[in-house]
Every structure is written in C-alpha cells, then in structure tokens.
Structure 1
Amino acid sequence: MNNALFDRYYLSGIAPDFTLTGSGYSNGGNTLKDTLDKFFDNDSDPSTDYRDAQANPVLRPYLPPGKSANDVVSELDAADGYKKLGAYSLIDGAFNVNSTSIPAWEAFLRSNRNLAVRYAQGSATDSPSNDTPFPSSASPSDPSAPASLTTQAHWAGLARLNDAQVNDLATRIVEQVKLRGPFMSLSDFVNHRMGTLNNETSYAGALQAAIDLTSINNSVHSNAGGANPDYSSPYMPGRPPASTLSASTTNIPGDLTQADVLLPLAPRLTARSDTFRIRSYGEVRSLDGNNIVSTAICEAIVQRVPEYVDSVTNASDNEPWDEAINPTTLVESSSFNDINKTFGRRFKIVKLRWLSPDEI
C-alpha cells in the first residue's frame, strides 16, 4: 500500500475548477484544458501565471527543450494525459529523507510555523503562538465548542509543536535515518521494517518511531483520559507488544502521529536528490613542473530533469514516462534506447560560477 501511494502515484491537483452549488458540483464551463493552459501559461492573459491553476502548490511547470506549452497541453489533455504530467512539472524545494542534518530536518518540520488553522465551526482559528501545527484534517474541530471539558482540548483541535519539541523530533528522526537508512523509496521510509523481527525497526516506521521516542505526546496520554498500556516491555519505547492494547488516546486529534507529520510535508519528500553542487579544480604548472603558475576553481549546479539523455532515437519509445524495466514483470524493455538504459535521465547545468580561494 505504501509503495502504491508514495512511489507509484502522483497527485498534481490539476483538474477542472469545480464549485459546489445547490444542485451539486459544477465546473462552470471550466475544462481540464483551461486549467492546463493556466499552469503552463498557455493563455493570452499576461496577468495570470501557473499559480492560478490551483494545482499542488509545490509544483512548478516544466517545458523540455523542443516542446512548447501548446504541445504539452495537447498531450496532457488527452485520455492518457494523467500518466504523463510528472514529466512536465518539477517539485520546488524537494527534501531528501536520507538527510542526516538535524538543522535541515528542523527547518523542514517548521515549514508551517506560525500558520493559523481554521476550525470546522465557523470562522474561529487556532492561534499560531510561534508553534508549528500538524492537524490531522484540513478543518479540525474547535476544542472550545460546544462546551469546554477538561479533556476536550486533546480530543478536538490539533497537535502543535514548539521549537524545542521540533528540535527534539528532528534529532530523533536523524537517529532513525542513521539506524534504518539509506531509504531506497518513500514507502521504505514510511513503512516499518519487514521480514526478520527487530525490536528497533519492526513495530513502526522511521517517523512514528521518532515521535514515540520523544515526550511530545506525554501530556495527551496522561490528561486525555482512557486506558494506557504498559510500555515497560523490551520493545521499542512507545510501541507496546502485540498482546497489549494501544493507548485509547492513540490517533485522537491532539496525539501527534506519523500521518499528521506526513500530511503537510509528504508533497516535498523524496528518497533521492536531483540537484547537485559540483566543484572542479584546475592548475597550470611551470615547464619543469615544480611551480604552480595559475589555478582556477569553478562550481556548477547540476540538475537531473525528467527526459532521458537520448530523446531523438526511437523518440516514441524513449519518452520520460517510458521505462527501461517493466516495474510489474521486471522484464527489460526491448524498444528502449540502449543509451538511455545505460545513462538514464538527462543532467543539465543550471548555474556555473568561478570561485575565489577564500570561498573554499
């Protein structure tokens, strides 16, 4: 299931703009092509850009060399266009789950810091108070409505983390990455370890394990009421043995879970990096080879793009959505270009600059 959701499925948000009326849903005459035209700036209105398409906000349009916006819109407006959208959009600010940098994870987890969350009841919102929200739904229930109860704040509302808690969680996540990584896919990162039973990795995925190793949910488990299991077993802290019931407060709105963390952050997650910083050094020596006459150092930012290295030979069988190996049967594609089988996706230099010695 995790492989299907996190590695084989692509949620772009690009669809006709529907509104809910008294008679049901209506697109008001808007079509998929209208939305695609907005996303790829293929309309005649200079005041609009890709954000007006209301697609997944982390996506940016991408036009490969040799293809116009009109070409791409025509391809994606076809019956099989949904299979091809990933080749014509890029993620802005993707985050590699294999990172072992605590400050990087801390900054990533705080992406929504100070964000107010509107409750389902009317116009009331949850106060930011310099914390980072992780609601379990887009419109959580207001904990103060209809009446204030001692435990209701945990059974409604949402989980918010202060900066110290985010730092603690980031530290624990890095511990899990070092313990379990490298992750070869997002499902590998999200899921618990399969196969031979291991007390540290078999009972929860990396994120849930990291949460359980913090004290973030302590107040919820102690103040929200209900039953709590005995966690003194040799199993990983926070994960009871299979014969023991979970806490009855598990998964209530105030109880932070892996799913709550993934909800706002999953669109930017990746198990690999596609942008690299490469530095090169060169020098010229005197004829006798004893003295360095001149040196030069350059830095290039190199980005991997969706299309393959050779998009000309057998062009119809070497499109970005074609695969060298059939993922279902694991049989090599006979029509796939040998060059592309060997070298894969194309890399392009997006920035080049010369460095001075004091920058090294």
Structure 2
Amino acid sequence: MNSRKGLGIGKPWMSISTSTASLSVYPAYNRPFPRQRWRMPEPTRALPLPERTPEAAPAETPANTLRDANRFLRWLRSAPSSNPVDRRNAPFLQVLLLFFGIFVPINKALFLFAVGSGQVPRPGTLQLSADLVTDTLLVGSAWVALWLIRRGRFRRGVALFLSVASVCVGIAYASVGLVRVGLDPIPLVLLSLAGLVMGRRALWMMLGALVMMLLACMALDMFRADAAPLATTIGKTLSIAGIWLIIALVLDRTVAALRNSLEESEQRNRALELAYARLEEEIAERDRTREQLFHSRKMDLTGRLASGLAHDFGNVLTIILGYAQRRDRLAAEGGEPASYRRWNGWNWRPAVPWRSAGSC
C-alpha cells in the first residue's frame, strides 16, 4: 500500500512504501530494491600449499668473504703466547706453515703426475726418493710446528721446523751434488726466520748448521763417480757460504736494531704505565681531598646554622624568663600583673579584682 499523506509531499523523488512487514524508502522514478535474504556463507576452501623447493646455497658475496677473512685473522691472532714479540710473529708464521703444509703436497702431486704422463723427464731413483723424503719431512714438520704454536709452544715449534728444514736442505744438496745446486731460496728463508723470529743467537746457529751441511756435501762430492774438480767444488761452497754470511750479517744488524727499538718502546710503555698509575693516584687523592673539603664546609655551615638557631632560641627564652621574673616580682610587691589587665578605651582597668597574696 502506497501513502503520500504527510510524507514526501512536494518531493517527487521520494515515495513511501508501507506494509505490514517492512518500511522502505526508494526513489519514485526507480524500481524498488529487492529485499535481500540472509544466506549462510559458503565455507572457504583451503588453498593448496605451495610445494617446498630445496633451499639454494647462499650466494657468495663480498660481505661474506670479508667476514670469513676477519674470522681467519682472529683465529691466527688467538695463538697463546706470553712473549709480546712472539705474539706479533705468530700470525705470519702460521700462514707460512700453512703454505708449506698445503702447497708442497699439491706441487709434488702435480710433479709426479707430469712424470708419470711423460711430460717431464723422469729423474734418477736416488734423486726422486730424496725429493719425496724431504717433502714428507718438511710437510710433517710444518703441521707439527703449527700444532705446537696453537698449543702455546711457539719457540719449540719454530725450532723444530727450522731443524727439519735444514736437514732437508742437506739431503737435497747431497742427492743432486753441490756443483749442480742453483740459487735456492730455502736457506735464505730459514736464515730470515731464525733471525727475525728466534733472535740473533738462533741466526748464527742456523748459519753454522748450514755451513756444516755445505762441508758435508763437499766431502760427499769428492767420492762421486762423476765428481767435479776440487777447485770447482770448493769455489761453489765458498760462494754459497759467502752469500749466506752476507745475508746473516744484514739480518743480524737489522734484528739488533729492531730489538733495541722494541726494548726502548717497551721501556717507554712501562714509563707511561707508571706515569698513568701515578696520575690516577693523584686524581683519586684530589677527589678524596675535595670530598673532605665539601664535608668540612657542610659541617661548618651546619654548625653555624645550629649556633644561630640556639642564639635565637636563647633570646626568646630570655624574654620569656624576664617576663616571668617581672610577674613574680609584681606579685611579691602586691601589684597587678600585666596579665590581669584589659584595654578599655584609653585607660587600663583591672580585668578582675586583684587580691593580694595575704587576702582570702
């Protein structure tokens, strides 16, 4: 039923639809909106989970490489050592031992593969056996020395490696012949390690061991079937020993200068530590003195405050005591105390009749 009485008059766009069931308002020029019935929502279907794919290995980034390098450096610097010089030399020496322990086996494996494939002429049996023995000893001593350094036995590990390496050099020279030895950098490395790491005494001991090895090799060359002339062998020995001696002298002067500068720097460091400790003691003493001064000032101020309060309180008590004495004196003389008077205009009159002490 449609009704326009009193509702929507003069508004052609509005129409009222009334019924017993609902009241709806809709534009007159449009069709009424259909009534929507509430329906229970359909249950949602679970979406299928995506299949898991195997996680790919993280890509190598410069940040990861730098992190690994820092971790490796921290591992190298963590070698225990009580001597500060040995602690500084430990990272480099560990890298050198790792080089000997990894590079030498790889190099020897490539050499044996080249010999087996015919790319390189096969050396003699004695020379090949001596080469294998020396490489095995050198690699084993490098790993053992590295293990000793990681256990805090720095000098023992370095001494072991230098001793085994010098023996290997002697075996190699004896196997090939002293005359056929070219410019070999291994003795120079051993001299440098002995001087820079172990000290001047170890440097000259290493030089003496290498010279004795040269003399032994020269003696063996005299008994070879294809021995070179004695003058050639002696000249070769002297030239090699002379080169080693010059290098040892240079290293000795360098090590001495470095050791002296290091001792001076350590003395300066100790002096600075003592001065710093003395300065800390002076600062602590100054702080204690300042605290004592502040405390004394506080006590002084507190005493002054207490004395002032006591003086003022004494003045109040003096006034009270004076008035009390005056009252007693007036009472003894038969007069009127001031507390029994009242103000009446301009005249004083007694508030209550005063009775003398003798009256009843």
Identify the structure with the greater helix proportion: 2
Identify the structure with the greater strand proportion: 1
Q: Which has the higher contact order (CA 8 A, sep 6+)?
A: 1
TM-score over 0.5 (shorter chain)? no
Structure 1 length as normaliser, TM-score? 0.22
